[in-house]
């Protein structure tokens, strides 16, 4: 993979003038009124231009704006910002810095912003958030950005571990995970089990369930059964019984009420 710095050196060597890295200035307004009037965009652009001027021509700034978009929308789901992120990830594109005047222009969801910082570190581009003084194009700013990205990874890992432990605890208590199963689906599963006990193949069981107009798990009575659907129905009963057994074990191992 060609890193952004290597791409910059190659582009500089290919041109007759000193290479300027491209900084993508991103401005956003959320309300319909702001979208129509442009309120706030000018101030954001001015702040970004001031940052570029302070870098003494090191960066050529491209301004991009997103109108009428809430900060609660994830960055990768915004029409403009998602395109900028794709450019930053492309080693052949000279864009290597994303600049915003305020953190909340990137997002109002802290996890989304932390994930974006983590992505910037992995893909080797920089984020500048002027209101926080975070400028990952400088040594000090890179240190801050690295710490933030590490915090994002740690939070994501901790969330995954908490989720895993919570699910394991529910399973141990006999809670059946997955989407709810209807009574009709269980009836079809019990019928399939009875037919299997009589020695019918999955294909024959599917034909019988179709003829008897048992609905599929989706509730569709018109769609014919097939071997895979029968197998899933039988597995449903297996999961039910497994959950019941675990619930019984959990109940029997629990201390009796009032016990000391």
Residues forming the active site:
30
Is the C-alpha dihedral spanning 77, 82, 83, 89 positive or negative? Answer: negative
Please give the Cα distance from 102 to 130 (Å, whole number). 6
**DSSP bridge pairs for 129:** 100, 134
Burial degree of 27 (CB within 10 A; 0-12, 13-18, 19+)? buried
Exposure of 123 in the CB half-sphere (CA atoms within 13 A): 22
Q: Which of 17, 53, 21, 1 is nearest to 137 (CA)?
A: 21
Question: Are residues 183 and 217 in contact, defined by beta-carbon separation less than 8 angstroms?
Answer: no
Residue 214: helix, strand or coil by DSSP?
coil
d(CA 180, CA 135): 49
Could you tell me which residues are beta bridge partners of residue 28?
Answer: 66
């Amino acid at each position: 993979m060609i890193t952004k710095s290597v791409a910059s050196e190659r582009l500089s060597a290919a041109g007759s003038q000193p290479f300027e890295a491209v900084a993508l200035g991103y401005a956003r307004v959320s309300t319909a009124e702001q979208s129509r009037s442009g309120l706030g965009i000018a101030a954001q652009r001015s702040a970004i231009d001031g940052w570029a001027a302070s870098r003494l021509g090191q960066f050529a700034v491209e301004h991009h704006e997103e109108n009428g978009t809430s900060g609660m929308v994830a960055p990768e789901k915004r029409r403009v910002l998602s395109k900028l992120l794709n450019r930053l990830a492309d080693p052949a594109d000279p864009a290597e810095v994303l600049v915003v005047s305020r953190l909340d222009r990137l997002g109002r969801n802290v996890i989304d912003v932390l994930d974006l910082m983590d992505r910037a570190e992995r893909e080797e581009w920089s984020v500048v958030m002027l209101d926080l003084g975070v400028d990952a194009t400088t040594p000090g700013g890179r240190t801050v950005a690295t710490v933030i990205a590490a915090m994002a990874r740690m939070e994501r890992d901790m969330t995954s571990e908490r989720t895993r432990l919570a699910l394991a605890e529910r399973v141990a208590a006999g809670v059946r995970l997955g989407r709810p199963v209807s009574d009709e689906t269980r009836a079809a599963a019990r019928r399939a089990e009875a037919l299997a006990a009589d020695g019918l193949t999955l294909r024959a069981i599917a034909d019988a369930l179709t003829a008897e107009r048992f609905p599929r798990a989706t509730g569709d009575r018109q769609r014919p059964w097939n071997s895979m659907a029968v197998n899933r129905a039988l597995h449903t009963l297996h999961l039910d019984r497994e959950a019941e057994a675990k619930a019984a074990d959990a109940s029997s191992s629990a201390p009796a009420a009032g016990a000391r």
